[in-house]
Structure 1
């Protein structure tokens, strides 16, 4: 009998894709996995999911209370080995994550990157406060010795217009949700029409604020006064809704400005910077001014809608944040930073640990060696070079994610 060479067969997993980001990313990723011999099915909860979904579709149009039974049937019928989703705190995802973990099914969670703009997050089990990343600075000091030093990743074209177009396309079919998916409830706090109207108002605010924002930043650069930065986050962000003690940014402003008024020296100033993707539904400039006026510090608090963040970070005395990725950028600039909740970078030796009231007079600077090892370790174990919204970014993200998804053990698990 002639010798017959047996080619190695790739392990075949069965992936169930849930909701993804508003872009073709999940569809492209599913195609790449199928090309590698994997089985992939996608669950669609609304019309936007249908638009950006891929083949082998499963539809869920029942009530939320029936999700657990739905997932139980899906996992059993298709012998699911892996669940893939974007954002582990979405209501449609919570039952799937809990059930999968109880059954030993791998859960792969995508999110915006911890170190943007050229990295996205891909973790097993969960992200942010659900991350497997240790909270022990000594672990990073030791493990980081053996991990290559990462820079900013391979760059690609960034486009806010592409992101906006994908978002509009995703929501444009929402008008049919009441017919096709009558029980679907979005995880977003506002419907698309309200949000887009807010973006128009915010665009007008940005145009009218550019000159004054430029002047405020120039004043900071001159270093005539010690200045602290408070970057606002989105009320809709899971970092605020699910991973912080605050319900919305108004609570954060009251808390931070109250402490600043009571404990910061009279010649110290504060700059509050709006989030660049805010829909503008809430006028935070007006809210900030009212709070500052009530506290008697209106002459020491500036609010800006825009501005070059690296320039600010190069000249401020410290950054107060809840858990924004700006905190990671501040640490990269060696700026003292305090986190008001518990992001992955809230470690002794990185962030100020003595409390907010003490921060204004004695901010603790970060240990640059620890941060370098922390950043490289986080990137090596949880980040993927690529993006969600432009063709070139998606190409990179798909190519770099497929191998991670098919691995039996994640990189972070290999180090724990």
Structure 2
């Protein structure tokens, strides 16, 4: 049996608590560390500690330079988005929390650490400690087939995940075509069709956590968002859910460009050449125009704004730039499946929309680092100046439908765990606990075999 440590969690603060409870029912020991004031609203059945009340002035022995080299979102956001440096005071806070987490891990003999996403500074310092101590990490993230799947990976999320990159791996997979036909876009289990957690509850919890930072009960965990930005986001999200879809007549031939959240970790850490959606559109438009002129075609560009980004980026400057340009259409709300079904190609940096496009047997071009950059699955454009040539080739050649279907089958029915992150469904926790427990048993067997043969 193992000793687990759960740090933070996602917007559903019950998510980790439920998994921990399910693991304890299997005989494991779990510990949960809470960091935000809002988390205190949720009662846990496992050993729990509110960290801000236990942090001392002792600091973990790590230099500021080494700390700043970690993939800490707060630091990256300040540097790349705000154009400023993190203060020595904030780095000192990181070290103090780091010291406490390190001592706690040692005192509880922690063997597995569970993180959500992994780019928050708490996650990154815990990961650093875990690597130093040789402790296993399990990463969680929203599923690739939302909202009915969950990502659970021992290596990381997105580009850093354990998803195989070899085409041969997928060619050897046998798929259940009937299962794929019935359940690719819906859950196999009826219990998972329940409603998600209330947005009001999520907003209230986040408000309490912001107040906790304001009154210095704990550090300000939300450097990337102010109270007013949070309020604007909440109002925008409520109104957007009631907004009618855009009236749109789809062009005869078009490429679909899904915008991504501009300050998302996918852009900050896994898009080495394109950091702004404005640059993405300019690049795609120039490539499409070149092809239209050379081949006497009338390919248009459909751009869909990301709903999570609308409260921060309205792209009015970009819309003004392309206002009188024929062949470029901006879309706020419209069925993504409809946009994908009729697209000649989808051009993305590394969005999960790319996965949905593949699931619908569409041609996909990626411009960033993506776990689905696999030969015969997508066409990866490694340099922006090559996009025109890549797009020409993509539009001409047929897709490798067999390999794509096997890849999608692997993602949906083997790699992903069917469950809902945003609801308090106990079934989700049980399925995740089963997956983690099975992985541990496999590792124990491998270790035992290795010991017998003196590996």
Give TM-score scaled by structure 2 length.
0.76
- Distance, in Å, in 1 between the alignment partners of 2:444 and 2:144 is 18
Pick closer, same or farther for the CA change 1:290–1:262 going to 2, 3 Å.
farther
- Distance, in Å, in 2 between the alignment partners of 1:202 and 1:287 is 22
Pick closer, same or farther for the CA change 1:100–1:315 going to 2, 3 Å.
same
1:103 aligns with 2:103: no
1:89 aligns with 2:116: no
Pick closer, same or farther for the CA change 1:311–1:304 going to 2, 3 Å.
same
Pick closer, same or farther for the CA change 1:409–1:37 going to 2, 3 Å.
closer
1:75-224 alignment, distance < 5 Å = 75-142=105-172, 144-145=173-174, 150=180, 151-152=183-184, 153-154=187-188, 155=190, 156-157=192-193, 159=195, 162-174=197-209, 175-186=211-222, 189-201=224-236, 210=244, 213-214=246-247, 216=248, 219-220=249-250
Question: What residue is the counterpart of 1:362 in the other structure?
Answer: 393
- Distance, in Å, in 1 between the alignment partners of 2:144 and 2:442 is 16
For the aligned residue pairs, the C-alpha RMSD in angstroms reads 3.0
User: Residue 225 of structure 2: SS of its match in structure 1?
Assistant: coil
User: Residue 311 of structure 1: SS of its match in structure 2?
Assistant: helix
* Structure 2 unpaired stretches of 5+: 56-92, 447-455
Deviations 1:352-383 (A, max 9, x none): 24642124433254312112221222345431
Question: What residue is the counterpart of 1:334 in the other structure?
Answer: 361
User: Residue 152 of structure 2: SS of its match in structure 1?
Assistant: strand
- Distance, in Å, in 1 between the alignment partners of 2:303 and 2:387 is 16
- Distance, in Å, in 1 between the alignment partners of 2:107 and 2:21 is 21
Deviation at 1:53, TM superposition (A): 6.3
Pick closer, same or farther for the CA change 1:181–1:380 going to 2, 3 Å.
farther
Question: What residue is the counterpart of 1:298 in the other structure?
Answer: 325
1:51 aligns with 2:33: no
- Distance, in Å, in 2 between the alignment partners of 1:115 and 1:367 is 21
- Distance, in Å, in 2 between the alignment partners of 1:43 and 1:238 is 24
Preserved contact between residue 288 and residue 300 of structure 2 (Cα < 8 Å): no
Pick closer, same or farther for the CA change 1:260–1:382 going to 2, 3 Å.
same
Counterpart among 25, 50, 62 of residue 15 in structure 2:
25
Pick closer, same or farther for the CA change 1:412–1:207 going to 2, 3 Å.
farther
Give TM-score scaled by structure 1 length.
0.83
User: Residue 109 of structure 2: SS of its match in structure 1?
Assistant: coil
- Distance, in Å, in 2 between the alignment partners of 1:378 and 1:191 is 36
Deviations 1:249-303 (A, max 9, x none): 334333333433444446111110112333422113x24323435xxx7221011
Deviation at 1:163, TM superposition (A): 4.8
User: Residue 358 of structure 1: SS of its match in structure 2?
Assistant: helix
Question: What residue is the counterpart of 1:320 in the other structure?
Answer: 347
- Distance, in Å, in 1 between the alignment partners of 2:168 and 2:444 is 17
Bigger Cα displacement from structure 2, 199-208 vs 247-256: 199-208
Question: What residue is the counterpart of 2:88 in the other structure?
Answer: none
Preserved contact between residue 404 and residue 410 of structure 1 (Cα < 8 Å): no
- Distance, in Å, in 1 between the alignment partners of 2:417 and 2:19 is 13
Deviations 1:335-368 (A, max 9, x none): 1111111211111101124642124433254312
Question: What residue is the counterpart of 1:253 in the other structure?
Answer: 281
- Distance, in Å, in 1 between the alignment partners of 2:311 and 2:226 is 14
Question: What residue is the counterpart of 2:86 in the other structure?
Answer: none
User: Residue 389 of structure 2: SS of its match in structure 1?
Assistant: helix
Deviation at 1:56, TM superposition (A): 2.0
- Distance, in Å, in 2 between the alignment partners of 1:410 and 1:147 is 27
Deviation at 1:117, TM superposition (A): 2.8
Pick closer, same or farther for the CA change 1:31–1:203 going to 2, 3 Å.
closer
